[in-house]
Amino acid sequence: MKTIMVDMDEVLCIGGHLGIVNKFLNTSYKVEDLPGYYTEDMLPKERLQEYYQFFKTENPYQYAEIIPDAREVLEKLSKKYQLFICTAYYSDVYDME
């Protein structure tokens, strides 16, 4: 059986990082409000370091929403392939002290 690795962010779920930004700023931005790919672009530059510390205390997947039909697609794929869900991990990206 062949193997497929499926990315988590923006493939299976969306909005996790935006949920953290909303909590940090006490806002209610939606994905369509993003000016680009990076949610950090919504933050005032003078608060970035404070945000990075806050980010380390949060779980993005607590805020994420499953992309429509993702479960159904995975179910179909799982009949022919061995699936692994993967994502990038921020080990020191936000360790900017």
Q: What is the pLDDT of residues 13-70, one digit of tens each?
A: 998 999 999 999 999 999 888 888 888 888 999 999 999 899 989 998 999 999 999 9
Residues 64-68: contacts with CB within 8 Å, 24+ apart? 64/13, 64/14, 64/15, 64/16, 64/19, 65/13, 65/14, 65/15, 66/12, 66/13, 67/10, 67/11, 67/12, 67/13, 67/14
Query: Do the domain assignments include residue 92?
Result: no
> Is residue 17 in some structural domain?
yes
Return the structure tokens found at 97. 């002290």
Is residue 13 situated within a structural domain?
yes
**Looking at the 3D structure of the chain, how many domains does it have?**
1
**For 82-88, what is the mean pLDDT?**
92
Average pLDDT over residues 62-91: 91
Q: Answer yes or no: is 94 within a domain.
A: no
- Let me know if residue 24 belongs to a domain: yes
Which pTM value belongs to this model? 0.77
- Cβ neighbours around 54 below 10 Å, total: 15
Domain hosting 34: range is 2-86
Would 29 be classed as within a structural domain? yes
**What's the pLDDT score for residue 43?**
92
The pair of three-digit structure tokens given for residue 92, joined into one six-digit string: 């020191």
pLDDT tens digits, one per residue of 87-96: 886 655 555 5
Q: For residue 57, is it within any domain? A: yes
